[in-house]
Structure 1
Amino acid sequence: MTAKSVTSQIKRCAKDASKCLVKNANRLRALLTGHIKQIPALLVIILIGGALFACGYRKASPEDFNNAFTLPASYTLLALIPGYFVVETVGKGLLKLRERVDYGLKNKRILLAGDKEECDNVEAQLHYSQLYDKKNITNISTDRTSPDQAYNSEHFTKYDLVILCFSGISQAPISDQQAQLLSETLSSIGDDGRVKNDIEASNSEGSAVGLIVLCPRGSLQAPNKVNKLNPEKHKWDTNPFKRPFTAVVNQAGRLLTDVFSLLTTLPPRNGE
């Protein structure tokens, strides 16, 4: 084993240890934050219980004390202990779910690309819902008109969710320009094969980027189904139907549900 490989392994171990410490620190902080309000109440209950115990022990006979306090307290504890573990188990799951929802809504970034009118409509609905931070929503179609739109899809991986908004006619294939944007997007954030391989390999080096395609009904078609389609530009038209963390919708209202779902189910990015 060379010195270079040893150094590389040490750096990797240090990096993993740092990630683990940060993750555990965040969990501990969330746990304390979630239970900070219960601590004073718990202390008050303990003090009152201790005072009653001391008072009863001094004034009552041992037999009366056992019948009036010890035995009922034992039965109560026997019922509370398993109940506590049940509540604790369920509570951990609910706490984790709440953390994911809060993090997804407050921190994950959304990118809107495609036809300007559709993008503006979706952006307005996202703002109106008041669920998402406006600074985390980027609309790169603003002030751009078709067909003079220029996108740099290489930067799409910086976002957690990419929403492609296509307008058109039902049952009519998307335009060559729309197909090119879809192809470039999938090439950047990963097509179905690449994302599936990362998931199966539990690859943590990259982060899965969610994708939503808003388009007219029946507009995503394979090149061999329509002779007029450009095979090069339309080669990934049907890919969104197979890609993980991806949704194809035909109504902007339905899209809002998918946005919430993907932002809260996508795992945190590497190092977060």
Structure 2
Amino acid sequence: MNKERHIYIGIIITLTMTLVMTLVLFTQFNDPTWHDVATTFIFPFIYTIIGAIVVALVGTTIADRVLENYNERLSHGLSKRVIQLLGYPDFSHRIQEDLQRSALIQNKIVLDQSTVSREADLVVVSLDLNWYNKPRKELDLETATKLNRAEQELTQIIQDIDDSQALIVLTVGKLDDSAAITKHLKERRFSTIVNAQGRVLSDIHSLLTTLPPRNNR
């Protein structure tokens, strides 16, 4: 981009010199034909080219700054943030394997099955739930037990997690949409519920790169 700027500046200097020479000739020679050519073609052409180059220079400068800031955020999000994997061990280990296999996200991974870590920028909670499509009061014992346990775990996590930490909840089963904790989770910023293992990496990537800096980091 610096090379392009030098070319633009060179063109502006050349056009400016041409404009000065044209003005000198315009004032020195009282030729109506020359005056018509200068006023109808040469002057407008030079003004247009100079204006276009100035706009291009300003635009590329702004674009470079925006792109530089975006690249810094992207690099920071994919290499310097901390991911914590909580909950159902089978899902957590699969997520860890997928993160390592992708080789795109180079963040530190904390495997802790107990409490939310203050160090974590993103907490990924895996829940072992069954899928159901009937009213809650009609659920079988196993499904109801898993659902109650998951809601208790989520309630504790929501209490422990900081507002500056992002949250992903992964389950191939189903949460109760009418439950207070589910509604709260859906309203929480930088949080999402994922029902497919294959979507987790894209959501992790998205949250890591859009989450605001924490503690001036």
| TM-score, normalised with respect to structure 1 | 0.57
Deviation by residue 1:75-131 (Cα, 9 ceiling, x = unmatched): 532220012222333333232222211110011110001111111111111111111
Shift of 1:237: 4.3
The answer for the alignment partner of 2:169 in structure 1 is 213
Does the alignment pair 1:179 with 2:140? no
Q: Percent identity?
A: 23
**1:32-58 alpha-carbon deviations (Å, 9 max, x no partner):** xxxxxx5578679979x99xx99xxxx
Amino acid in structure 2 at the alignment position of 1:117: D
What's the counterpart of residue 75 of structure 2? 102
Partner of 1:240: 185
Counterparts in 2 of 1:85 and 1:40: CA distance versus 1, 3 Å: closer
The equivalent of 1:166 in structure 2 is 127
Find the counterpart in structure 1 of residue 115 from structure 2: 152
**TM-score w.r.t. structure 2 length?**
0.69
Q: 1:124 aligns with which of 97, 100, 120?
A: 97
In the TM superposition, residue 256 of structure 1 has moved relative to its aligned partner by 1.2
CA-CA distance at 1:220 after TM superposition: 3.7
Please name the residue that 1:77 is paired with.
50
Tell me the alpha carbon deviations over residues 171-218 of structure 1, each in whole angstroms, 9 at most, x when there is no partner: 24534443333222111114xxxx4xxxxxxxxxxxx10000001342
Q: Do the aligned partners of residues 46 and 85 (structure 1) sit closer, same or farther apart at CA in structure 2, a change above 3 Å counting?
A: closer
* Separation of aligned partners in 2, 1:187 and 1:162: 13
The runs of 5 or more residues in structure 1 that have no matched partner are 1-37, 55-61, 142-150, 196-207, 224-234
Distance 1:82 1:176, change over 3 A: same
Distance in 2 of aligned mates of 1:237 and 1:78:
56
Does the alignment pair 1:93 with 2:93? no
For the structure 1 residues 45 and 236, does the alpha-carbon distance in structure 2 shift closer, same or farther, using more than 3 Å as the test?
closer
Measured in 2, the distance between the counterparts of 1:239 and 1:100 equals 28
Instruction: Select the residue among 233, 253, 257 that pairs with 2:202.
Output: 257
- Over alpha carbons, which structure has the higher Rg? 2
Going from structure 1 to structure 2, the CA distance change for 1:220 and 1:162 (only over 3 Å counts) comes to: farther
Unaligned 5+ segments in structure 2 are: 18-24, 27-37, 133-142
Q: CA deviation at 1:222?
A: 4.8
Hey, what does 2:215 align to over in structure 1?
Answer: 270
Give the RMSD, CA atoms, in angstroms: 3.6
> Which deviations, in whole Å up to 9, do the C-alpha atoms of 1:126-172 show, x marking residues without a partner?
11111111x6112224xxxxxxxxx133xx23210000011231124
Matched residue pairs, number? 192
Say if 1:43 and 1:216 are closer, same or farther in 2 by CA, change over 3 A.
closer
